[in-house]
Amino acid sequence: QVQLVEAGGGLVQAGGSLRLSCVASGGTFSRASMGWFRQAPGKEREFVAAVNWNSASTAYADSVKGRFAVSRDNAKNTLSLQMNNLKPEDTSVYYCTARAPPYGGAATEAKLYKYWGQGTQVTISS
């Protein structure tokens, strides 16, 4: 059974940093793209960042470009999201997601991802 488990959320002040991590188990994700989405209360889930299967390419939402960095370690089946210069509008539940292998291209649409974690809360205070 495939599982994606996120960690690293929390409460920080604006301008601070957080690092989210996601551990994948129950499948082989080294040939699949992975990404992060987020959803704030009353809003639709939105794309944050994605990385292709071999880390050769990444994609970011305009709202996080230059502040967030996505990375992966295929040997450890892990995905990370380094978030710097956080803003109150970054407050959301962040979800780790993975496409079904062998779809390795970084994708920005939620419908292209098959596996989802339970989410981790990130709260930024002003």
Closest of 9, 38, 55 to residue 110, by C-alpha: 38
Distance CA 90, CA 75 (A): 30
Instruction: Give the span between the Cα atoms of 102 and 56, in whole angstroms.
Output: 16
* Phi and psi, residue 73, nearest 5°: -130, 100
For residue 29, the model assigns a pLDDT of 84
DSSP letters of 74-121?
A: TTTTEEEEEE-S--GGG-EEEEEEEPPTT--S----GGG--EE---EE
The pLDDT tens digits of the residues spanning 41-79 come to 999 999 999 999 999 999 999 999 999 999 999 999 999
Q: Which pLDDT band holds residue 30 (cuts at 50, 70, 90)?
A: confident
Q: What is the pLDDT of residues 73-126, one digit of tens each?
A: 999 999 999 999 999 999 999 999 999 877 778 899 999 999 999 999 999 999
Helical residues (DSSP H) of 21-82, grouped into ranges: none
